[in-house]
C-alpha cells in the first residue's frame, strides 16, 4: 500500500510526474511530515526526478511549520455551516481514507490525483471541495466542470450534487448523450455554475457554441482510465484547449496506467497523489468464489444460484447480444430481471437502473458499461456469467458489491476454455478464488418455471385453454 498526502498527513511518500509522460511510484521510508520539492536532475528514460524531503530535518526551509490535525469526520472539515448541515442530513458522518486525504488537499487549491479501490467514496472526495468553492464564488456561468465516462455515472454524480447543494450554490447542467439536448442547452443558458458531462455530448455542444467553458476554474476528471479506454481522449483534448490554463484539476481513477499518467502530466500542475490500497485487488469485504463447469451447464448453475441466494444480483455478460439472450431466458424462468447495455436507449437504461435500485427488479443483467458507472449500495451478489476481457475489469465488476461497509459475494462461472482465462486473471491479479463444486451446487436443479405469457398477447384465455 502506498499513499501520499500534502501538508502533514502521516504517509508513505509517493510522487510521480514527469515531463516526458512517465509515471514514477516509489515508497521511501515513512516520514512524520513531508513536503515535495522538485529538483533538477538529468532525465532518466524521459522522466524527471522528484526529491522527497523531510521538513523536520531542515528547520531553515520550514521554520514555522504548523502541526496538522488529522480529520476523520465531515464535521471537522473547514466547510461552510450550510454544507455541514447538508452532509449531516444525508447521514455522511465519517470520512473514508480517500476522502480524509484528498479533501483537505483539494480545499487548499492543489491539483490532486486520487487512486483507490472502487466503492471507497471518490465521488464525495471531489464533490465537497467543488461545492465549497462554488459556495464561496457564486457565478452565472460555468466555473466548474466534471467529466465522466458514462451517462449513468454522470446522472448519479448530478443527483449527489443536488442532494448536497446549498441555497447559495447554483444548479448544475447535466450534459449527456442519448437524451434530448433541449433541456441541457436551456440549463447552460440559464447560468449553471457547474457542468457535469460526458465528453462526447459536451464537445458537440461546444462546437455549436452552446457551451462556454472559458471561465472554468475547477476541473474534475472522474474515472479517467475508463474515459480513455472508451476512446474519449480526442474529445477530452478538444475540451481542454478551451479551458483556462490557470485552474485547479482533480483526477480520480481506479488505475494509473501509462495513458492516464500522460494525460495527468500534460494537464495538471504540481499534483499531489493520494493512493490508497491496491487498485488491482478486490475489497476485503467481497467473498470471491469460482465454479468450473462443463459447457452447457452454466445457465442451470446460474438458475440454482439465483434460487438459493437472496438479495439484489448483478450479472455481467461480455456482449450486448449475450445480455439480451440471458435476460429473456431469466424472465421466461420467472425472475424479475432487467438489462442494461450500450444499445439500449437512455430511457430504457434509466428504467432498468431505477427499477433495480428500488427493488422492482431483483436481477440486472449488464455488460461492462455498468462495471464503473453503477452505484447501488445494496448489491448482495455479483455474478460473472462471462469472464471480462481484461483482468482490471474483473476488479471493477466485483466492486459493485461489498460497498459502503457491507459484505458482498462475487461468483464467477467458467466453462470450457474460460477455465484457462479464469486462471490467467488470478495470476494477473495475484489472487486465488475459492473453488466450489458445480455438481454439488446443482445436486437438486430447480425446475424451470414457464412464465404465463398471456400478458404480452392480445388473446384472451378461454376456459381450459393452456398456452405453452
Distance CA 307, CA 447 (A): 10
CATH architecture observed for domain 34-275: 3-Layer(aba) Sandwich (3.40)
Burial of 444 (0-12, 13-18, 19+ CB in 10 A): exposed
| CATH entry 3.40.47.10 includes domain 286-441 | no
pLDDT given for residue 118 in this prediction = 67
Strand order in 337-340's β-sheet?
A: 337-340, 363-366, 312-316, 379-384, 408-415, 286-293, 434-436
Q: Look at the chain and count its residues.
A: 468
Q: Is the pTM of this model over 0.75?
A: no
pLDDT at residue 439, as a whole number: 56
pLDDT value for 81: 92
Quick one: pLDDT at residue 306?
A: 92
Q: Cell 433541456 maps to which residue?
A: 183
Question: What ranges do the domains of the chain cover?
Answer: 34-275, 286-441
Q: What is the pLDDT along the chain (468 residues), one digit of tens a residue?
A: 444 444 433 333 333 333 333 333 433 333 333 333 333 333 333 333 333 333 333 333 333 434 445 678 899 999 999 999 999 999 899 998 889 999 999 999 999 998 876 667 889 999 999 999 998 887 778 999 999 998 888 998 999 999 999 888 988 999 998 888 999 999 998 889 999 999 999 999 999 999 999 999 999 999 888 888 788 999 999 999 999 999 999 998 877 777 788 888 889 999 998 887 655 667 777 889 999 998 889 999 999 999 988 889 999 999 999 999 999 999 999 999 999 988 888 788 888 988 998 889 999 999 887 666 566 767 889 999 999 888 878 888 888 887 766 788 999 999 988 999 999 999 888 888 999 876 544 444 444 444 444 443 444 444 444 433
pLDDT attached to residue 69 = 53
Phi, psi of 348 (to 5 degrees): -65, -40
Q: What does the pLDDT read at residue 228?
A: 85
Report whether 51 contacts 39 (CB < 8 A): yes
Amino acid at each position: 500500500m502506498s499513499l501520499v498526502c500534502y501538508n502533514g498527513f502521516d504517509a508513505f511518500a509517493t510522487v510521480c510526474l514527469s515531463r516526458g509522460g512517465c509515471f514514477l511510484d516509489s515508497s521511501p521510508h515513512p516520514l512524520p511530515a513531508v513536503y515535495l520539492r522538485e529538483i533538477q536532475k538529468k532525465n532518466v528514460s524521459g522522466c524527471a526526478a522528484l526529491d522527497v524531503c523531510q521538513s523536520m530535518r531542515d528547520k531553515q526551509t520550514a521554520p514555522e511549520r504548523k502541526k496538522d490535525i488529522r480529520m476523520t469526520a465531515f464535521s471537522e472539515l473547514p466547510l461552510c455551516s450550510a454544507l455541514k448541515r447538508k452532509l449531516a442530513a444525508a447521514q455522511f458522518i465519517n470520512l473514508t481514507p480517500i476522502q480524509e486525504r484528498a479533501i483537505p488537499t483539494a480545499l487548499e487549491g492543489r491539483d490532486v490525483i486520487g487512486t483507490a479501490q472502487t466503492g471507497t467514496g471518490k465521488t464525495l472526495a471531489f464533490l465537497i471541495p467543488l461545492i465549497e468553492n462554488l459556495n464561496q464564488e457564486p457565478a452565472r456561468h460555468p466555473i466548474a466542470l466534471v467529466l465522466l465516462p458514462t451517462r449513468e455515472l454522470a446522472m448519479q454524480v448530478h443527483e449527489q450534487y443536488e442532494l448536497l447543494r446549498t441555497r447559495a450554490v447554483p444548479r448544475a447542467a447535466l450534459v449527456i448523450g442519448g437524451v434530448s439536448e433541449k433541456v441541457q442547452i436551456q440549463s447552460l443558458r440559464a447560468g449553471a455554475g457547474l457542468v457535469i458531462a460526458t465528453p462526447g455530448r459536451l464537445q458537440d455542444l461546444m462546437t455549436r457554441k452552446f457551451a462556454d467553458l472559458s471561465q472554468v476554474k475547477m476541473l474534475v476528471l472522474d474515472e479517467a482510465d475508463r474515459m480513455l479506454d472508451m476512446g474519449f481522449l480526442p474529445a477530452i483534448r478538444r475540451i481542454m484547449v478551451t479551458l483556462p490554463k490557470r485552474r485547479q484539476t482533480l483526477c480520480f481513477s481506479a488505475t494509473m496506467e501509462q495513458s492516464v499518467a500522460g494525460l495527468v502530466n500534460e494537464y495538471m500542475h504540481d499534483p499531489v497523489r493520494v493512493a490508497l490500497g491496491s487498485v488491482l485487488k478486490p475489497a476485503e469485504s467481497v467473498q470471491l468464489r469460482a465454479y468450473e463447469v462443463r459447457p452447457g451447464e452454466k445457465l442451470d448453475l446460474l438458475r440454482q444460484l439465483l434460487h438459493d441466494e437472496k438479495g439484489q444480483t448483478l450479472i455481467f455478460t461480455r456482449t450486448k447480444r449475450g445480455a439480451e439472450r440471458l435476460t429473456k431466458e431469466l424472465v421466461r424462468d420467472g425472475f424479475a430481471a432487467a438489462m442494461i447495455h450500450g444499445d439500449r436507449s437512455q430511457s430504457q437504461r434509466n428504467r432498468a437502473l431505477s427499477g433495480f435500485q428500488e427493488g422492482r427488479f431483483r436481477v440486472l443483467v449488464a455488460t461492462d458499461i455498468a462495471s464503473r458507472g453503477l452505484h447501488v449500495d445494496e448489491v448482495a451478489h455479483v455474478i460473472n456469467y462471462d469472464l471480462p476481457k481484461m483482468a482490471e475489469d474483473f476488479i471493477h465488476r466485483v466492486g459493485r458489491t461489498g460497498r459502503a461497509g457491507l459484505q458482498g459475494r462475487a461468483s464467477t462461472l467458467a466453462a470450457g476454455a474460460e477455465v484457462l482465462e479464469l486462471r490467467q486473471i488470478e495470476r494477473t491479479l495475484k489472487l486465488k478464488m475459492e473453488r466450489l463444486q458445480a455438481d454439488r451446487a446443482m445436486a437438486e436443479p430447480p425446475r424451470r418455471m414457464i412464465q404465463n405469457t398471456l400478458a404480452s398477447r392480445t388473446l384472451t384465455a378461454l376456459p381450459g385453454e393452456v398456452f405453452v
